[in-house]
Amino acid sequence: MPLVSTNRLHKFFGKNHVLRGIKLDVEEGEVVTIVGRSGSGKSTLLRTLNGLESIDDGIIEVDGAKLEVDCADAASLRALRLKVGMVFQQFNLFPHLSAGQNVMLAPQVVKGTAKSETEDIARRMLERVGLAEKFDAFPDQLSGGQQQRVAVARAIVNDPVIILGDEPTGNLDSRTAEEIMALFQDLNSAGKTVILVTHEQDIAEHCKRIIRFRDGHIISDEKVASPADARQILAKMPAGDEMVTHV
């Protein structure tokens, strides 16, 4: 059984039909990249997977947690979100909390874990993203890449099975972007399933599967054997869907 499964997924923004009957299955351990031009609906799809956007029709199932239309009660939403971690383009760290506190907040508040224990957890998480020494630093004292590492640590603190990334390297220079991608690969090796939205070619080359998105539809869905293979798939993009390549 697939880990993530959506069926007949529809979403409207007013009159704008942004998701038009999406059917998508993702198996455990995959690294999936969704590409497409801005406004194609790829971000919206990602955001429906943890309930950031409600859906107008269809069903989403993540590791046994279900989301249906009109059925997004608090308990099922919470169950879903504990299974899904999210990393944003703008990092979205909490500016009034230190890096460590950013990571500690969820276990402390959501799971009710004791403070001493959450501190240990947070230190382990920050260590895992290579920022153990920045525990007490505040977001505005960190570089973009460091902030995104903290955001990744925060996203995995609930021990989710899936990590979503919405253009996670979109605000970073190419070298830092590579480092963040390496981080996602580490997480994947450790058993996490990763789904990324991007319009950067070098990011898409890292994945095991590329889904192309256009006008609310999936227009292709192909397994990737190697970076060269990925380049070939991305080269087939129709005009207007060009990828950005880092120089």
* 13 lies in the site for other proteins, by CB under 8 A: no
Q: 128: which 2 tokens?
A: 């895992």
- Decide: is 145 part of the binding site for other proteins (CB under 8 A): no
Q: Which residues of 48-58 are buried (b: 16+ CB within 10 A; e: fewer)?
A: bbbbebebbeb
The least CB distance from residue 82 to other proteins, in Å, is 5
Q: How far is the CB of 88 from other proteins (least distance, A)?
A: 6
d(CA 244, CA 19): 24
Is residue 114 near other proteins by the rule CB under 8 A?
no
What residues from 63 to 102 belong to the interface with other proteins (CB under 8 A)? 74, 77-78, 81-82, 84-86, 88, 90, 92-96
# binding residues, other proteins (CB under 8 A): 27
Element (H, E) at 16: strand 16-26
Enclosing H/E stretch for 81: helix 74-83
CB 60 within 8 A of CB 6: yes
Strand, coil or helix: 48: helix
Distance of closest approach, residue 231 Cβ to other proteins, in angstroms: 32
Using CB under 8 A, which residues numbered 34 to 53 contact other proteins? 50-52
Q: Which residues contact 207 (CB under 8 A, 6 or more apart)?
A: 31, 32, 33, 194, 196, 224, 230
For residue 50, the minimal CB distance to other proteins (Å) is 6
137 makes contact with other proteins (CB under 8 A): no
Which residues in 169-208 contact other proteins (CB under 8 A)?
Answer: none
The contact set with other proteins (CB under 8 A) reads 50-52, 74, 77-78, 81-82, 84-86, 88, 90, 92-96, 105-106, 109-110, 151, 154-155, 157-158
